[in-house]
Amino acid sequence: MPKAELLDPQGKAVAGALARLGRSQITSVRVGKRFEIEVDGPADDAILAEVAALADEVLANLVIEDVISVHFAGADGFGLDATQDFESGNVTTDTSFDSQGTSTETEQQLEDEISEGLA
Amino acid sequence: MGTNSGLGGGSWANGAAGAGGSGAGLSGTGPSGTGPSSIDTDAGAGVRIGVVTFPGSLDDRDAARAVRMIGAEAVPLWHGTHDLEGCDAVILPGGFSYGDYLRAGAIASLSPIMSEVIDAANLGLPVLGICNGFQMLTEAHLLPGGLIRNDHGNFICRDQRLRVENTSTAWTNAFPSDAEITVPLKNGEGGFIASADEIARLEDEGRVVFRYLEVNPNGSMNDIAGITNDRGNVVGLMPHPEHAVEPGFGPDTALAMRSGTDGLALFTSVLSSLLARA
């Protein structure tokens, strides 16, 4: 997400459009980015930590953006799952994801999601 | 040199013909208030200045033309190589490298040639980043801060008045101190931001090189248009000096339409700093 203290002109433009639709109860919009990442190999804490490091170094520019969350995908492959939120420290392998049949004999796919801001 | 045949492979014409002159000294109006200045195109003989073309670069040819205007050789460099081809200085041009995907300049800053540019810059190679090139320099951590979307949300294109506040960098030593110049500005994500500490450091150390005058066109903090590193060899700015190097194609001046050549002094500056070092 764009850093809270910085102006987000894109969010401002969206908020203006919503207001023009009569949604006057919406007073502010901020627009960020989300990355869905698939990897080869085991879906473990090590790969999650690696992706979290990449989020800080490459996927986000911490001068202008904040990384909000790095976590395993939920059972449906989408959405936040608080029990597996990396930043909460409650990282676990998502067994429900494995049971969806995306694993191979030697590899399983892990989908990490990274929500962060945009330039 | 990649498959983009029009861009790579040393296809740019060099020499006096390419610079539109016939060997005679080129004259321009010079930075405003300093009177006419002339360029000794012989001074650039033998100096090689690389201009990197990335996928989506737009102003590489104009930058190369500016290099030829001062009599130096413009060397086309390709983002996908690790070869600076022995260049004495490098320019990262404007445009929309990699479609500005991820963030403006972010993917370009990870390209093969940038690892060479970063190493060489840290050893003192003069590097100029213009617009998208400035964004790359911040993404590559060669310069502090970052560039975000213009505060008004729109792309802006205008002839921009600037003050040159640091005339000791490799790219500004030919300007008289506090010179006021006009060069084109065109960007969508040109808002310079940095932490309060970083802004204070840049100001205290005199590393704000260019400051917007009259109008802040994009919401940049402290009206900052361009900065340098502590060594003074790396300079990045959002406005486009390479579009103000040739009478007939620059910004309007009081003297005549499109006669502004205030940008030329950036390129003569690097020549001076290279020749002083040699």
Residue A112: pLDDT band by 50, 70, 90 thresholds? Answer: low
Q: Give pLDDT, residue B14.
A: 65
User: At CA A81, angle to CA A80 and CA A83, rounded to 5?
Assistant: 150
Closest CA relative to residue B214, chosen from B199, B201, B225: B225
Rounded CA-CA distance B192/B202 in Å is: 12
Q: Calculate mean pLDDT across residues B49-64.
A: 98
Best mutation target, B115, B134, B148, B218, to test chain A (most A CBs within 10 A):
B148
Least confident window among A11-15, B57-61, B82-86, B163-167: A11-15
Q: Is A61–B103 a contact, with Cβ atoms under 8 angstroms apart?
A: yes
Q: Give pLDDT, residue A43.
A: 80
B35-277, which class in CATH? alpha beta
User: Pairing mode, if any, of strands B37-39 and B26-28?
Assistant: antiparallel
User: At CA B268, angle to CA B45 and CA B32, rounded to 5?
Assistant: 145
Residues 6+ apart with CB under 8 A from A47: A39, A41, A110, A112
A32: left (phi over 0), alpha (psi -120 to 50) or beta: beta
Rounded CA-CA distance A17/A10 in Å is: 11
Residue A119: pLDDT band by 50, 70, 90 thresholds? Answer: very low
Q: Give pLDDT, residue B7.
A: 42
b (16+ CB within 10 A) / e for B30-57: bbeeeeebebebebbeebbbbbbbbbbb
Backbone torsions φ then ψ of A71, nearest 5 degrees: -155, 165
Residues 6+ apart with CB under 8 A from B149: A8, A9, A10, A119, B188, B189, B191
- pLDDT tens digit sequence for B206-262: 999 999 999 999 999 999 999 999 999 999 999 999 999 999 999 999 999 999 999
Residue A41: pLDDT band by 50, 70, 90 thresholds? Answer: confident
Beta strands in chain A (DSSP E): 32-39, 67-72, 110-117
Structure tokens at B276: 């002083």
Residues 6+ apart with CB under 8 A from B177: B164, B167
Question: Would you call A18 helix, strand, or coil by DSSP?
Answer: helix
Tokens 């309007």 -> residue: B252
Q: Is B145–A2 a contact, with Cβ atoms under 8 angstroms apart?
A: no
Rounded CA-CA distance A101/A99 in Å is: 5
Q: Calculate mean pLDDT across residues B148-168.
A: 96
Q: Give pLDDT, residue A77.
A: 57
Question: Would you call B61 helix, strand, or coil by DSSP?
Answer: helix
Q: Is the pLDDT of residue B13 over 50?
A: yes
Determine what percent of chain A falls in helix, strand and coil, rounding each to the nearest 5.
35, 20, 45
- Residue pair B240/B63 in contact (Cβ under 8 Å)? The answer is no
- pLDDT tens digit sequence for A52-111: 999 999 999 999 999 999 998 865 555 554 444 444 443 333 333 333 333 333 334 445
Q: Give pLDDT, residue B257.
A: 94
Q: Is the pLDDT of residue B269 over 80?
A: yes
Q: Is the pLDDT of residue B113 over 90?
A: yes
Best mutation target, B138, B141, B149, B193, to test chain A (most A CBs within 10 A):
B149
Rounded CA-CA distance A108/A101 in Å is: 9
Chain A to chain B Cβ contacts (< 8 Å): 47
Rounded CA-CA distance B57/B39 in Å is: 28
Q: Is A58–B110 a contact, with Cβ atoms under 8 angstroms apart?
A: yes
Using beta carbons and an 8 Å cutoff, which residues of B are at the interface with A? 100, 102-104, 106, 110, 138-139, 144-153, 189, 191, 193-195, 219
Q: Calculate mean pLDDT across residues A111-119.
A: 48
Q: Is A58–B146 a contact, with Cβ atoms under 8 angstroms apart?
A: no
Sequence letter at residue A68:
I
Sequence letter at residue B43:
A
For A11, name the nearest residue in chain B, comparing CA atoms only. Answer: B153
Sequence letter at residue B68:
R
Residues of B in contact with A7 (CB under 8 A): 148, 151, 191, 219
Structure tokens at B193: 């931001």
Q: Is B138–A63 a contact, with Cβ atoms under 8 angstroms apart?
A: yes
Rounded CA-CA distance B56/B105 in Å is: 11
- pLDDT tens digit sequence for B83-103: 999 999 999 999 999 999 999
Residues of B identified as active-site: 131, 240, 242
Q: Would you tell me how many other CB atoms lie within 10 Å of the CB of residue A76?
A: 10
Q: Is A61–B152 a contact, with Cβ atoms under 8 angstroms apart?
A: no
Q: Is the pLDDT of residue A33 over 80?
A: yes
Q: Give pLDDT, residue A24.
A: 82
The alpha-carbon gap from B165 to the nearest alpha carbon of chain A, in Å, equals 24
